[in-house]
């Protein structure tokens, strides 16, 4: 969103600076984080132009992690990934009420989830902007993955479930994508959105050092209120919100690492336990939230 542009959610041009956040992962550059005065939506101001954003992604990291099983970290990574694949599969079955069907995974990355769902009998298409990740998914798994420009080729009302696992916050034109999701979903289809939560206990704890700000790759910082309002604008209703209870440990450990603290993993786990206990009955304070949305 450019300085004078209107709020993605409510259209207001009245916003103020919350703080400045640093890109610890790639560039070391800082970006202002602003908040809409009218609706409370938080966004990264002055992000790079879309044509320049690829240099802020370290794509080789994703692929190099994928298959080697050498160190303890690699093994933990594999266990965590397989656990998450099973969780995501179960969630799709639960929310769609179907054992198989058509699924579109937007931001499919290296294709592990799309492949897992294919092997469970789903007819899956991935959408991925990175050409190397697309090629990897196609050659490794033989699945169908298209670039974002080919979304228009997906037939109206043909998809049972659309998934965006930590993707919406990266998209330069979320309005376009929500219109496309509405178009391609069946009337009783479901969309699953996983997002970091700017109103989480850990976001409050770490402030501008919260790792899930992840500027400038994250352009939008949703809370359950602003996400609910955003999907409503596009003719959807949020039927359920689920918390992702493990993200807080990972995000806290990275936040401490960025801060330059010693023993970031241990401190991250300790802070994760402390904040989880403190917000035990406040589901909407989890580090990341999963939203299930349906057409209104």
Query: Which stretches of the chain bind Zn ion, using CB under 5 A?
Result: 7, 9-10, 12, 36, 38-39, 41
8-state DSSP, 36 = E
Contact partners, residue 176, CB within 8 Å, separation at least 6: none
> Phi first, then psi: what are they for 73, rounded to 5°?
-60, -40
Cβ 229 to Zn ion, closest distance in Å? 8
Cβ 76 to Zn ion, closest distance in Å? 40
Cβ 220 to Zn ion, closest distance in Å? 11
Strand order in the sheet with 185-196: 144-146, 123-127, 102-106, 159-165, 185-196, 288-295, 236-244
Q: Which helix (H) or strand (E) holds 40?
A: none
Cβ 226 to Zn ion, closest distance in Å? 8
Q: Quick one: 10 or 138, whose CB is closer to Zn ion?
A: 10
| Per-residue exposure over 112-122, b if at least 16 CB sit within 10 Å of its own CB, e if not | bbbbbbbebeb
Cβ 172 to Zn ion, closest distance in Å? 18
- Distance separating alpha carbons of residues 223 and 279, to the nearest angstrom: 16
- Distance separating alpha carbons of residues 218 and 160, to the nearest angstrom: 27
Cβ 9 to Zn ion, closest distance in Å? 5
- Distance separating alpha carbons of residues 230 and 143, to the nearest angstrom: 32
DSSP string, 193-246: EEEE-TTSHHHHHHGGG-GGG-TTT--EE--HHHHHHHHHHTTEEEEEEEEETT
- Distance separating alpha carbons of residues 196 and 200, to the nearest angstrom: 8
Q: Quick one: 13 or 64, whose CB is closer to Zn ion?
A: 13
Q: Quick one: 6 or 100, whose CB is closer to Zn ion?
A: 6
Cβ 39 to Zn ion, closest distance in Å? 3
């Amino acid at each position: 969103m450019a300085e004078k542009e209107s709020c993605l959610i409510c259209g207001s041009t009245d916003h103020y600076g919350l703080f400045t956040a640093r890109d610890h992962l790639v560039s070391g550059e800082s970006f202002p984080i602003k908040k809409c005065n009218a609706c409370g939506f938080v966004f990264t101001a002055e992000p790079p132009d879309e044509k320049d954003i690829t240099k802020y992604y370290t794509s080789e990291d994703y692929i190099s992690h994928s298959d080697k099983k050498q160190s303890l970290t690699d093994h933990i990574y594999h266990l965590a990934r397989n656990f998450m694949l099973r969780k995501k599969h179960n969630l799709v079955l639960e929310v769609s009420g179907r054992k198989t069907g058509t699924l579109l995974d937007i931001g499919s990355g290296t294709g592990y989830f799309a492949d897992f769902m294919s092997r469970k009998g789903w007819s899956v298409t991935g959408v991925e902007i990175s050409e190397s990740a697309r090629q990897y998914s196609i050659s490794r798994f033989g699945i169908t993955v298209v670039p974002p420009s080919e979304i228009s080729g997906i037939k109206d009302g043909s998809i049972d479930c659309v998934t965006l696992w930590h993707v919406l916050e990266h998209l330069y034109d979320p309005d376009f994508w929500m219109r496309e999701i509405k178009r391609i979903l069946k009337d009783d289809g479901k969309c699953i959105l996983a997002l970091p939560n700017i109103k989480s206990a850990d976001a409050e704890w770490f402030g501008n050092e919260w790792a899930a700000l992840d500027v400038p790759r994250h352009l939008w910082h949703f809370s359950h209120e602003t996400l609910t309002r955003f999907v409503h604008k596009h003719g959807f209703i949020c039927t359920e919100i689920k918390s992702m209870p493990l993200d807080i440990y990972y995000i806290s450990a990275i936040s401490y690492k960025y801060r330059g603290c010693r023993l970031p993993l241990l401190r991250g786990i300790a802070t994760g336990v402390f904040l989880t206990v403190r917000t035990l009955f406040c589901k909407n304070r989890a580090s990341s939230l999963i939203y299930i949305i349906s057409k209104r």
